Amino acid sequence: MRHFLKETDLSPAETAQVFAAAAGLKAGRGRAAGSALAQQSWGLMFFKKSTRTRVSFQVGVHELGGLPVMLNADDLQLSRGETVADTARVLSRYLHGMVIRCHEHGLLEEFARCGTMPVVNALSDFLHPCQFLTDMFTLAERFAPGRPDQYAAALKGRKVAFLGDTACNMANSFVLGGAALGVEVALAGPAGYEPGAAIRAQLQRDGLPETFSFSTDPAAAVRDADMVYTDVWVSMGMEAEKAERLKLMQPYQVNARLLALAKPSAYFMHCLPAHPGEEVSAEVLASPQSIIFDQAENRLHVQKAILAHLAAARG
Protein backbone atom coordinates (compact mmCIF):
# COMPACT_ATOMS: atom_id res chain seq x y z
CA MET A 1 0.00 0.00 0.00
CA ARG A 2 1.43 3.36 -1.02
CA HIS A 3 0.81 6.55 0.98
CA PHE A 4 1.82 10.18 0.50
CA LEU A 5 2.52 11.45 3.99
CA LYS A 6 5.83 13.14 3.24
CA GLU A 7 7.80 14.37 0.22
CA THR A 8 10.05 11.32 0.24
CA ASP A 9 7.14 8.88 -0.09
CA LEU A 10 7.59 9.44 -3.83
CA SER A 11 10.99 8.65 -5.29
CA PRO A 12 12.60 11.39 -7.43
CA ALA A 13 11.65 9.34 -10.52
CA GLU A 14 8.02 9.09 -9.35
CA THR A 15 7.99 12.82 -8.60
CA ALA A 16 9.07 13.46 -12.20
CA GLN A 17 6.24 11.16 -13.37
CA VAL A 18 3.72 13.01 -11.20
CA PHE A 19 4.90 16.35 -12.64
CA ALA A 20 4.44 15.07 -16.20
CA ALA A 21 1.02 13.59 -15.38
CA ALA A 22 -0.08 16.84 -13.69
CA ALA A 23 0.95 18.83 -16.77
CA GLY A 24 -1.13 16.45 -18.92
CA LEU A 25 -4.14 16.74 -16.62
CA LYS A 26 -3.80 20.53 -16.62
CA ALA A 27 -3.63 20.73 -20.41
CA GLY A 28 -6.53 18.31 -20.89
CA ARG A 29 -8.81 19.59 -18.14
CA GLY A 30 -12.45 19.52 -19.12
CA ARG A 31 -11.85 17.72 -22.43
CA ALA A 32 -12.44 14.13 -21.33
CA ALA A 33 -13.90 12.62 -18.16
CA GLY A 34 -11.18 11.16 -15.92
CA SER A 35 -11.38 7.53 -14.92
CA ALA A 36 -8.38 6.96 -12.61
CA LEU A 37 -10.73 6.81 -9.60
CA ALA A 38 -13.78 5.34 -11.39
CA GLN A 39 -16.01 3.35 -9.01
CA GLN A 40 -13.95 4.67 -6.07
CA SER A 41 -14.94 6.77 -3.06
CA TRP A 42 -12.26 8.85 -1.28
CA GLY A 43 -12.68 10.37 2.18
CA LEU A 44 -11.47 13.91 2.77
CA MET A 45 -11.13 14.43 6.52
CA PHE A 46 -10.34 17.84 8.03
CA PHE A 47 -9.41 18.64 11.62
CA LYS A 48 -8.41 22.19 10.61
CA LYS A 49 -9.68 25.01 8.43
CA SER A 50 -9.00 24.93 4.69
CA THR A 51 -10.03 26.70 1.51
CA ARG A 52 -7.66 25.52 -1.26
CA THR A 53 -7.00 21.98 -0.06
CA ARG A 54 -10.62 21.19 0.68
CA VAL A 55 -11.96 22.42 -2.65
CA SER A 56 -9.10 21.23 -4.87
CA PHE A 57 -9.27 17.68 -3.49
CA GLN A 58 -13.06 17.52 -3.69
CA VAL A 59 -13.06 18.76 -7.28
CA GLY A 60 -10.02 16.59 -8.09
CA VAL A 61 -11.59 13.32 -6.92
CA HIS A 62 -14.75 14.20 -8.86
CA GLU A 63 -12.79 14.98 -12.03
CA LEU A 64 -11.01 11.62 -11.79
CA GLY A 65 -14.36 9.85 -11.79
CA GLY A 66 -14.54 9.19 -8.05
CA LEU A 67 -16.89 10.24 -5.26
CA PRO A 68 -15.39 12.64 -2.70
CA VAL A 69 -16.79 12.06 0.81
CA MET A 70 -16.28 15.20 2.88
CA LEU A 71 -15.71 14.46 6.57
CA ASN A 72 -15.49 17.14 9.20
CA ALA A 73 -13.55 15.44 12.00
CA ASP A 74 -15.81 17.10 14.58
CA ASP A 75 -18.79 15.22 13.15
CA LEU A 76 -17.22 11.78 13.52
CA GLN A 77 -17.30 9.53 16.59
CA LEU A 78 -13.55 10.14 16.62
CA SER A 79 -14.34 13.44 18.35
CA ARG A 80 -16.16 11.46 21.08
CA GLY A 81 -13.34 9.05 21.78
CA GLU A 82 -13.45 6.39 19.07
CA THR A 83 -9.85 5.48 18.34
CA VAL A 84 -7.93 6.48 15.23
CA ALA A 85 -7.18 2.79 14.64
CA ASP A 86 -10.86 1.75 14.65
CA THR A 87 -11.83 4.75 12.53
CA ALA A 88 -9.18 3.75 9.97
CA ARG A 89 -10.34 0.09 9.99
CA VAL A 90 -14.01 1.01 9.59
CA LEU A 91 -13.53 3.66 6.91
CA SER A 92 -11.29 1.24 4.97
CA ARG A 93 -14.36 -1.00 4.56
CA TYR A 94 -16.18 1.79 2.68
CA LEU A 95 -13.56 3.95 1.04
CA HIS A 96 -10.70 3.47 -1.44
CA GLY A 97 -8.44 6.19 -0.07
CA MET A 98 -8.23 8.94 2.49
CA VAL A 99 -6.99 12.54 2.46
CA ILE A 100 -6.41 13.94 5.95
CA ARG A 101 -5.57 17.39 7.37
CA CYS A 102 -4.69 17.17 11.05
CA HIS A 103 -2.52 18.44 13.88
CA GLU A 104 -0.13 15.63 14.94
CA HIS A 105 1.63 13.96 12.06
CA GLY A 106 1.47 10.71 14.04
CA LEU A 107 -2.27 10.52 13.41
CA LEU A 108 -1.60 10.17 9.67
CA GLU A 109 0.96 7.45 10.31
CA GLU A 110 -1.39 5.56 12.60
CA PHE A 111 -4.24 5.86 10.12
CA ALA A 112 -2.00 4.54 7.34
CA ARG A 113 -0.77 1.68 9.55
CA CYS A 114 -4.21 0.56 10.75
CA GLY A 115 -6.24 1.13 7.59
CA THR A 116 -6.06 -0.76 4.32
CA MET A 117 -6.19 2.15 1.86
CA PRO A 118 -3.80 4.88 0.67
CA VAL A 119 -3.54 7.94 2.92
CA VAL A 120 -2.58 11.42 1.69
CA ASN A 121 -1.28 14.18 3.98
CA ALA A 122 -3.33 17.32 3.34
CA LEU A 123 -1.22 19.18 5.95
CA SER A 124 -0.05 18.23 9.40
CA ASP A 125 1.81 20.30 11.98
CA PHE A 126 4.98 18.65 10.61
CA LEU A 127 4.68 18.74 6.79
CA HIS A 128 2.56 19.99 3.88
CA PRO A 129 3.81 17.78 1.03
CA CYS A 130 0.96 18.36 -1.47
CA GLN A 131 1.72 22.08 -1.27
CA PHE A 132 5.48 21.58 -1.63
CA LEU A 133 5.13 19.33 -4.66
CA THR A 134 2.73 21.81 -6.24
CA ASP A 135 5.13 24.67 -5.53
CA MET A 136 7.96 22.84 -7.27
CA PHE A 137 5.69 22.04 -10.23
CA THR A 138 4.66 25.71 -10.45
CA LEU A 139 8.27 26.86 -10.42
CA ALA A 140 9.30 24.26 -12.98
CA GLU A 141 6.54 25.44 -15.34
CA ARG A 142 8.43 28.74 -15.44
CA PHE A 143 11.90 27.25 -15.75
CA ALA A 144 11.05 24.73 -18.50
CA PRO A 145 7.92 26.07 -20.21
CA GLY A 146 6.14 23.47 -22.35
CA ARG A 147 8.60 20.69 -21.41
CA PRO A 148 7.04 18.74 -18.52
CA ASP A 149 9.53 15.91 -18.99
CA GLN A 150 12.23 18.41 -17.98
CA TYR A 151 10.46 19.81 -14.91
CA ALA A 152 12.37 17.81 -12.29
CA ALA A 153 15.71 18.45 -14.01
CA ALA A 154 14.95 22.18 -14.30
CA LEU A 155 14.69 22.47 -10.52
CA LYS A 156 18.10 21.01 -9.73
CA GLY A 157 20.61 23.51 -8.35
CA ARG A 158 18.08 26.35 -8.08
CA LYS A 159 18.19 28.49 -4.97
CA VAL A 160 15.01 29.17 -3.02
CA ALA A 161 14.84 31.44 0.02
CA PHE A 162 12.26 30.71 2.73
CA LEU A 163 11.64 33.61 5.12
CA GLY A 164 9.78 34.02 8.41
CA ASP A 165 8.54 31.01 10.36
CA THR A 166 11.39 28.67 9.50
CA ALA A 167 10.18 26.03 11.94
CA CYS A 168 6.69 25.56 10.47
CA ASN A 169 5.30 22.70 8.38
CA MET A 170 6.00 24.48 5.07
CA ALA A 171 9.60 25.18 6.05
CA ASN A 172 10.02 21.52 7.04
CA SER A 173 8.62 20.47 3.67
CA PHE A 174 11.19 22.67 1.91
CA VAL A 175 14.00 21.20 4.04
CA LEU A 176 12.98 17.61 3.23
CA GLY A 177 11.73 18.08 -0.31
CA GLY A 178 14.59 20.40 -1.25
CA ALA A 179 17.13 17.78 -0.22
CA ALA A 180 15.26 15.10 -2.17
CA LEU A 181 14.96 17.16 -5.38
CA GLY A 182 18.38 18.85 -5.32
CA VAL A 183 17.00 22.34 -4.67
CA GLU A 184 19.13 24.68 -2.54
CA VAL A 185 17.00 25.92 0.38
CA ALA A 186 18.19 29.01 2.30
CA LEU A 187 16.05 29.67 5.37
CA ALA A 188 16.03 32.97 7.28
CA GLY A 189 14.09 33.44 10.49
CA PRO A 190 14.49 34.44 14.12
CA ALA A 191 16.96 32.64 16.40
CA GLY A 192 15.16 29.71 17.96
CA TYR A 193 13.19 28.97 14.78
CA GLU A 194 15.83 26.76 13.17
CA PRO A 195 14.55 23.53 11.58
CA GLY A 196 14.07 21.22 14.53
CA ALA A 197 15.25 17.78 15.56
CA ALA A 198 12.23 16.02 14.03
CA ILE A 199 12.86 17.17 10.45
CA ARG A 200 16.59 16.52 10.77
CA ALA A 201 15.82 12.99 11.98
CA GLN A 202 13.53 12.53 8.97
CA LEU A 203 16.37 13.54 6.62
CA GLN A 204 18.53 10.96 8.32
CA ARG A 205 15.89 8.23 8.05
CA ASP A 206 15.60 9.00 4.33
CA GLY A 207 19.39 8.91 3.91
CA LEU A 208 19.41 12.54 2.70
CA PRO A 209 22.11 15.10 3.53
CA GLU A 210 21.32 18.35 5.38
CA THR A 211 21.55 20.58 2.31
CA PHE A 212 19.55 23.50 3.75
CA SER A 213 21.14 26.56 5.35
CA PHE A 214 19.70 28.62 8.19
CA SER A 215 20.48 32.25 8.93
CA THR A 216 18.97 35.06 10.99
CA ASP A 217 19.90 37.47 8.17
CA PRO A 218 17.10 37.74 5.58
CA ALA A 219 19.31 39.57 3.05
CA ALA A 220 21.87 36.74 3.05
CA ALA A 221 19.19 34.13 2.38
CA VAL A 222 17.52 36.09 -0.42
CA ARG A 223 20.70 37.06 -2.29
CA ASP A 224 20.77 35.44 -5.75
CA ALA A 225 17.65 33.38 -5.04
CA ASP A 226 15.56 32.10 -7.97
CA MET A 227 12.47 32.18 -5.80
CA VAL A 228 11.50 33.80 -2.50
CA TYR A 229 8.86 32.04 -0.38
CA THR A 230 7.03 32.85 2.78
CA ASP A 231 4.18 31.45 4.85
CA VAL A 232 2.00 32.89 7.60
CA TRP A 233 3.80 33.76 10.82
CA VAL A 234 1.04 32.17 12.92
CA SER A 235 0.21 28.70 11.67
CA MET A 236 -3.02 26.97 12.64
CA GLY A 237 -2.69 25.89 16.25
CA MET A 238 -0.06 28.54 17.15
CA GLU A 239 -2.51 31.37 17.88
CA ALA A 240 -1.43 31.67 21.55
CA GLU A 241 2.02 32.82 20.36
CA LYS A 242 0.67 35.42 17.95
CA ALA A 243 1.93 38.62 19.61
CA GLU A 244 5.43 37.26 20.18
CA ARG A 245 5.72 35.86 16.64
CA LEU A 246 4.53 39.05 14.96
CA LYS A 247 7.20 40.99 16.81
CA LEU A 248 10.05 38.51 16.28
CA MET A 249 9.35 37.89 12.59
CA GLN A 250 8.97 41.54 11.53
CA PRO A 251 12.49 41.73 9.99
CA TYR A 252 11.60 38.82 7.70
CA GLN A 253 8.68 40.44 5.90
CA VAL A 254 9.06 39.90 2.14
CA ASN A 255 8.79 43.43 0.76
CA ALA A 256 10.03 45.11 -2.42
CA ARG A 257 13.34 46.11 -0.80
CA LEU A 258 14.13 42.52 0.21
CA LEU A 259 12.86 40.93 -3.01
CA ALA A 260 15.15 43.28 -4.97
CA LEU A 261 18.14 41.40 -3.50
CA ALA A 262 17.10 38.19 -5.24
CA LYS A 263 17.81 37.56 -8.93
CA PRO A 264 15.94 40.06 -11.13
CA SER A 265 14.12 37.04 -12.60
CA ALA A 266 13.13 35.69 -9.16
CA TYR A 267 9.57 34.65 -8.41
CA PHE A 268 7.64 35.27 -5.22
CA MET A 269 5.57 32.39 -3.85
CA HIS A 270 3.26 31.86 -0.87
CA CYS A 271 1.12 28.83 -0.08
CA LEU A 272 -1.73 31.16 1.02
CA PRO A 273 -3.72 32.27 2.92
CA ALA A 274 -1.61 35.47 3.06
CA HIS A 275 -1.71 38.24 5.64
CA PRO A 276 -0.70 41.36 3.68
CA GLY A 277 1.40 43.68 5.82
CA GLU A 278 2.64 40.81 8.00
CA GLU A 279 4.80 38.14 6.31
CA VAL A 280 4.55 39.86 2.89
CA SER A 281 3.75 43.36 1.68
CA ALA A 282 0.62 43.94 -0.40
CA GLU A 283 2.92 45.33 -3.09
CA VAL A 284 4.91 42.09 -3.44
CA LEU A 285 1.77 39.94 -3.39
CA ALA A 286 0.40 41.89 -6.36
CA SER A 287 3.73 42.32 -8.19
CA PRO A 288 4.46 40.70 -11.57
CA GLN A 289 6.99 38.46 -9.78
CA SER A 290 4.21 36.91 -7.70
CA ILE A 291 2.87 33.57 -8.98
CA ILE A 292 0.66 32.81 -5.99
CA PHE A 293 -2.51 32.10 -7.94
CA ASP A 294 -0.75 29.69 -10.31
CA GLN A 295 0.33 27.85 -7.17
CA ALA A 296 -3.23 27.76 -5.89
CA GLU A 297 -4.58 26.48 -9.24
CA ASN A 298 -1.87 23.87 -9.58
CA ARG A 299 -2.89 22.23 -6.30
CA LEU A 300 -5.77 20.73 -8.29
CA HIS A 301 -3.65 19.31 -11.12
CA VAL A 302 -0.78 18.01 -8.98
CA GLN A 303 -3.06 16.41 -6.40
CA LYS A 304 -5.05 14.68 -9.14
CA ALA A 305 -1.76 13.25 -10.42
CA ILE A 306 -0.83 12.09 -6.90
CA LEU A 307 -4.21 10.40 -6.35
CA ALA A 308 -4.04 8.69 -9.75
CA HIS A 309 -0.50 7.50 -8.99
CA LEU A 310 -1.50 6.02 -5.62
CA ALA A 311 -4.60 4.38 -7.10
CA ALA A 312 -2.54 2.85 -9.93
CA ALA A 313 0.10 1.61 -7.49
CA ARG A 314 -2.64 -0.22 -5.60
CA GLY A 315 -3.74 -1.91 -8.80
Residues designated as active site: 101, 128, 131, 231, 271, 299
Residue-level length of the chain: 315
| Shortest Å, Cβ 52 to ligand NVA | 8
Among the listed ranges 44-52, 92-100, 248-256, 261-269, the one in contact with ligand CP (CB under 6 A) is 44-52
Contact at 8 Å (CB) between 246 and 180?
no
Angstrom distance (rounded) from CA 233 to CA 239: 10
How remote is the C-alpha of 135 from its chain's centroid?
Answer: 7
Contact at 8 Å (CB) between 291 and 142?
yes
Closest to 173 measured CA to CA, from 296, 3, 8:
8
Out of 11, 35, 51, 250, the residue judged to bind ligand CP by CB under 6 A: 51
Provide the strand spans (E) within the chain.
Answer: 41-46, 67-72, 97-101, 119-121, 159-163, 184-188, 213-215, 227-230, 267-270
Q: Is the Cβ of residue 222 or residue 271 nearer to ligand CP in the bound state?
A: 271
52 binds ligand CP (CB under 6 A): yes
Sign of CA dihedral 169, 171, 176, 177: positive
169 binds, among ligand CP, ligand NVA, none (CB under 5 to 8 A by kind): ligand NVA
Out of 15, 40, 124, 131, the residue judged to bind ligand CP by CB under 6 A: 131
Instruction: Show the binding pattern over residues 236-275: x = contacts ligand CP (CB under 6 A), - = does not.
Output: -----------------------------------xxx--
| Shortest Å, Cβ 34 to ligand NVA | 26
| Shortest Å, Cβ 249 to ligand NVA | 13
Residues near ligand CP (CB under 6 A): 50-54, 123, 131, 271-273
